[in-house]
Structure 1
Amino acid sequence: MTLTTGLLPELLPELLPGVLDDASVFGRFRRTAGRFPDRPFLAVLPETAQVYGIEPGEISYGAMLEAVEARAALFSQAGYGAGHRVAMLLQNRPDFLINWFALNALGVSVVPINPDLRSAELEYLIGHSEAALVVAIPERVAELAAAAEAAGTGSGSIAHVITPHDLIPAPPRPAANRDAAPDRATECALLYTSGTTGRPKGCVLANDYFLLAGEWYATVGDLCALHVEPAERMLTPLPVFHMNAMAYSVMAMMTVGGSICILDRFHPRSWWASVRGFGATVIHYLGVMPAMLMSAPPSPADRDHKVRFGFGAGVDRTLHAPFEERFGFPLLEAWAMTETGAGAVVIASTEPRKIGTSCFGKPGPEMDIAIRREDGSEAGTDEPGELLVRWAGPDPKRGFFREYLKDAEATAAAWAGGYLNTGDVVSRDADGRFHFIDRKKNVIRRSGENISAVEVEAVLVTHPGVRQVAVAPTPDPVRGDEVVALVVPENPPADEAAARRLAEDIVRFCLSRLAYYKAPGFVAFVSSIPLTSTEKIQRGALKIAVEEAIASGRALDTCAMKKRTA
């Protein structure tokens, strides 16, 4: 059975019996496990098992349900219930899902921890979330215990830190209501934003956020159609402590009775072996992945797989069509945010997808959208503006985050004017399809011209001497801002003269493809670009790196090359 696009909620029970009755993430898993007990739910490939030191193999829905219910019983006996939060640093291991589902069954919210965080960040997260317990891999217990003690100093409420195999201690405070049955409004998770430009904000997400994400994915259809029969097999290398894998990948497979394989991370050399070994029918990707896969020599085995489509964002527009031609399946570009969930998600799953542009599709009727100029007026066709979104039904916030924890001011600002203000600059073409331009805060304003950092990066990265690149502004006394490019070269220049030659070649390359004012006025060669765990540029850290490059004199001045030609 293939689920088709445009399904109305009243048709869902016929295709997915009982789906609208699900009151929680655990409730949906239990229902699906009752329907397909012998189907595989979670697969651990040998390469991932080796990294984590765990057993490879597949875990059926029925076996997973037994493990979850046993774990839930232990948490319940220890006294955990509604009103508690439990933080988890468990990477992409099966233990993450087991503990999440078990705690969700009791109405306990989970706080996923990015393993890249260190002491000060961990102290903030544990303290701000008021986590009653931290469950972590053994290697991080001591560090987390120190962070928990520092966070609890003065509050008298220090969270315990345990591994998934330790006895569960009693919580430092009683549950608000242990007899309350979780429902769609119950808090399910607290996901923190990246915090690249300030303190991370904690997005409070209810069960409905996750359930609706699964329902959306199960019914979006067209090129993104999922099957109930035969069962889907989804492979993702994305971190399950972020919304893509946690809300979309896991919830989609749980909703349609599919199997999910979560790699420890993306391994370009073994990627296709993993795809074939798992028998993946759907893959999730980040923008950097197609570029890395395309850099490998073509092989007769390039189309030796079962993948029907990829779901992701940020593919290099110059590589989009060549990738699909070479590997034989579409890469479906999508847009969403942690704050929007499935309340506002767009995907280019219908033709024309306008490959080679930044098109991410046409919004569905469930979304109410505005594109606003800086003065607040509505932008015209092909005119850039900030994307504002809300649910089109009676509850405009349905499927969205509930609030930023302990930050009513930021929550109100995000919803100013009755829409979620996304901070993304987009345009709408004559066909009603949307095109991503950049984050509003990443737009460089030079001599009255708005320059998209993402657009410049997309061009510079195609230069044969550039491995990675990130673009940011530096203050200019005449022009307001000037464009700076931090470049990780394919081969580091041997000396200053070689660096100058490469920098000028990169700028000439850019000038041949973009308006003169968009080309870098400064180029600095670096060993690495500051990235998040999902391979996105850390714009806050990038700004500091640019300031340091300019102040130290390491940035080569190429401003004289930027001359108006028309």
Structure 2
Amino acid sequence: MITADTVYGAFCDSAAQWPDRPFLNVMPETAQIYDIEAGEISYARALVQVGSYAAQLKSAGYRKGHRVMLLLENRPDYFLWFLACNAIGVSVVPINPDLRAAELSYMINHAEPVLAICIAHRSKELRKAAKSAGVDMAVMEPHGSLPHAQTDMCIAARGGDPEAALLYTSGTTGQPKGCILTNEYFIEAGRWYSAATGICAITTDHERMITPLPIFHMNAMAFSFMAMVAVGGCLTALDRFHPSTWWDSVRRSKSTCLHYLGVMPSMLMGAEPSAQDINHTIRFGFGAGIDPKLHAAFEQRFGFPLSEGWAMTETGAGGTICANREPRVIGKSSIGSPDEKVQARLVDDAGKDSDHGELLVRAAGTDPRKGFFAGYFKNQAATDEAWQGGWFHTGDIVRREADGTMYFVDRKKNVIRRSGENIAAVEVESALAKHPSIKSVAVAAVPDGIRGDEVFACIVPKGAGTSEMAIEITQWCLRQLAYYKAPGYIAFVEELPVTATQKLQRATLKTLANTLLGDPATIDLRHLKKRIKA
């Protein structure tokens, strides 16, 4: 059990107890992609490196109240710099490397960081984005010379539990919101995992976890990382998910547990069955979004259970719900039932309790926000709205059966969930609306057998809509937004479903998009959605 009150403190405690144990493991394939050293990094060795980074930061004038951006992809240095910043009270701002110039400028302007630690080939782009944002942010490449802090840019310390990270997540109102994550947020994530029972139980007996998920998201950064810190375990973070080599990585990493998103089981089940399918040391997988039709077949084929759970960046461990206790309901999108530390309600559109409605959660006990985010940075109104009535409103529709088991149904919020990334429809619409060939546009989610959701754009064009125009619009969008936000499908329509007051009818739009998905005139652009190399 973690007793420290900071991320760095928890790491130091584990390093003192298990100095010779492996802390981080870099697979050869990941090392080759990143051109870094492969192999294991012990707790003792990591502690020395973290201490060196912290000393450099302190000497250069960085202090509590500063924010440092981290654009390091899934390199182990990400965790070491995070710990070093935490050691001196500096908050980190994780950057999704798929973001484009305008998105980076927005984040820099909003977060007001004083420094970015960035992989070499993105440093020029970050400097340009900072200049565009009007923020005097220094940019340092890993192992480069650390520039001195501009102390006059220091953000005033926010009282109480200090901020450990500012993590941006897509919402329903356009630009991403900055979620303030405190030390308590990370500590509670580690405590939740280390105290979990049932099939997700982990021990202090040399646990090893593998994840291909981005460490700039809360799943890997808070849960995977803090779980291993809590029990003196070893974390293997791959650069990303590679279906063809996944099981080789799992076997060679000697992992005992793994984290997944629904896209992963779908791809793995598409491979030819092999006698090697059960040749691994995995006891369980923890994740969300598996195709219900594949759930039982996956467990039978690969020989371990997948524990489906529910959480958001905002809820952290304070509102996590997980189907980790037997008997589990398999193949029906069950997220289990809340444990004794979580209170949950389902409410209908009138706000009345129901067995089918929006999920509301809070922590049990005297502090209903324990383990949750501390709020949206520079957006108290959105924070108050999310916590209306003393409950966190998740925007997810859930149904509950008589035994208390909950099942995920859909999203009430206008958010598209593609391969684990939350995409705000309004953000995509705002970007597309700037294209000179578009008169009006609306975006909705349509189902995708591999990625969960895909982005579908209904466009009223200026003039005749053609496949060439659709391709040009998508290529243009790929230069404005992260690749996964671009339309996977475009349908040119004469008008959008709006009310008499010209308000977009989202429910009607969703039905329209799903109908148009099978229309031969709809243009499939998914092949264009590829990561753009800087």
TM-score, scaled to structure 1: 0.76
Give the 3 Å change call, closer, same or farther, for CA 63–174 of structure 1 in structure 2. Answer: farther
**Alpha-carbon deviation of 1:527?**
10
Picking from 283, 289, 306, the partner of 1:308 is 283
Deviations 1:504-525 (A, max 9, x none): xxxxxxxxxxxxxxxxxxxxxx
> Larger Rg: 1 or 2?
1
**Alpha-carbon deviation of 1:441?**
3.1
Aligned to 1:216: 192
**Alpha-carbon deviation of 1:368?**
1.5
Aligned to 1:410: 382
Question: Are the equivalent residues in 1 in contact too, given 2:190–2:223 (CA < 8 A)?
Answer: yes
Picking from 139, 142, 145, the partner of 1:164 is 142
Aligned residue for 1:302, secondary structure, equals: helix
Deviations 1:396-419 (A, max 9, x none): 111111110001111111111111
Aligned to 2:183: 207
CA RMSD, Structure 1 to Structure 2 (Å): 3.2
Aligned to 2:12: 30
Aligned to 2:440: none
Picking from 112, 116, 120, the partner of 1:130 is 112
Aligned to 1:97: 79
Give me the whole-angstrom Cα distance separating, in 2, the residues matched to 1:555 and 1:31.
54
Alignment of 1:179-194 (within 5 A): 185-194=161-170
Range 190-199 or range 67-76, more displaced: 190-199
- Kindly report structure 1 stretches of 4+ aligned residues shifted beyond 4 Å: 174-178, 466-469, 471-475, 535-538, 544-558
Picking from 376, 397, 400, the partner of 2:351 is 376
Question: Are the equivalent residues in 2 in contact too, given 1:183–1:207 (CA < 8 A)?
Answer: no
Give me the whole-angstrom Cα distance separating, in 2, the residues matched to 1:34 and 1:556.
60
Give me the whole-angstrom Cα distance separating, in 2, the residues matched to 1:234 and 1:225.
12
Aligned residue for 1:437, secondary structure, equals: strand
Question: Are the equivalent residues in 1 in contact too, given 2:262–2:452 (CA < 8 A)?
Answer: no
Aligned residue for 1:32, secondary structure, equals: helix
Within the alignment, does 1:69 sit opposite 2:51 as a pair?
yes
Q: 1:431 is matched by which residue type in structure 2?
A: D
Alignment of 1:446-525 (within 5 A): 457=447, 461=449, 470=454
Q: 2:148 is matched by which residue type in structure 1?
A: A
Q: 1:429 is matched by which residue type in structure 2?
A: E
Question: Are the equivalent residues in 1 in contact too, given 2:208–2:257 (CA < 8 A)?
Answer: yes
Question: Are the equivalent residues in 2 in contact too, given 1:549–1:555 (CA < 8 A)?
Answer: no
Deviations 1:35-80 (A, max 9, x none): 0000000000000001001110100000000000011000000011
Aligned to 1:485: none
Question: Are the equivalent residues in 1 in contact too, given 2:458–2:493 (CA < 8 A)?
Answer: no
Give the 3 Å change call, closer, same or farther, for CA 31–549 of structure 1 in structure 2. Answer: farther
Give me the whole-angstrom Cα distance separating, in 2, the residues matched to 1:548 and 1:222.
50
**Alpha-carbon deviation of 1:177?**
10
Deviations 1:303-325 (A, max 9, x none): 00000000100000000000000
Give me the whole-angstrom Cα distance separating, in 2, the residues matched to 1:265 and 1:250.
16
Give me the whole-angstrom Cα distance separating, in 2, the residues matched to 1:31 and 1:550.
63
Give me the whole-angstrom Cα distance separating, in 1, the residues matched to 2:330 and 2:61.
53
Question: Are the equivalent residues in 2 in contact too, given 1:23–1:183 (CA < 8 A)?
Answer: no
Q: 2:111 is matched by which residue type in structure 1?
A: S
Give me the whole-angstrom Cα distance separating, in 2, the residues matched to 1:96 and 1:306.
27
TM-score, scaled to structure 2: 0.80
Question: Are the equivalent residues in 2 in contact too, given 1:83–1:175 (CA < 8 A)?
Answer: no
Give me the whole-angstrom Cα distance separating, in 2, the residues matched to 1:467 and 1:366.
32
Deviations 1:447-480 (A, max 9, x none): xxxxxx98x83xx73xxxx9986486979xxxxx
Give me the whole-angstrom Cα distance separating, in 2, the residues matched to 1:208 and 1:238.
23
Where does the alignment leave 5 or more consecutive residues of structure 1 unmatched?
1-15, 445-452, 476-495, 497-525, 559-566
- The sequence identity of aligned pairs, in percent, is 51
Alignment of 1:173-184 (within 5 A): 173-174=151-152
Question: Are the equivalent residues in 1 in contact too, given 2:172–2:414 (CA < 8 A)?
Answer: no
Alignment of 1:39-78 (within 5 A): 39-78=21-60
Aligned to 2:394: 422
Give me the whole-angstrom Cα distance separating, in 1, the residues matched to 2:166 and 2:297.
39
Aligned to 2:70: 88
Aligned to 1:334: 309
Aligned to 1:297: 272
Q: 1:388 is matched by which residue type in structure 2?
A: L
Give me the whole-angstrom Cα distance separating, in 2, the residues matched to 1:420 and 1:197.
17
Give me the whole-angstrom Cα distance separating, in 1, the residues matched to 2:51 and 2:309.
35
Within the alignment, does 1:400 sit opposite 2:382 as a pair?
no
Q: 1:133 is matched by which residue type in structure 2?
A: L
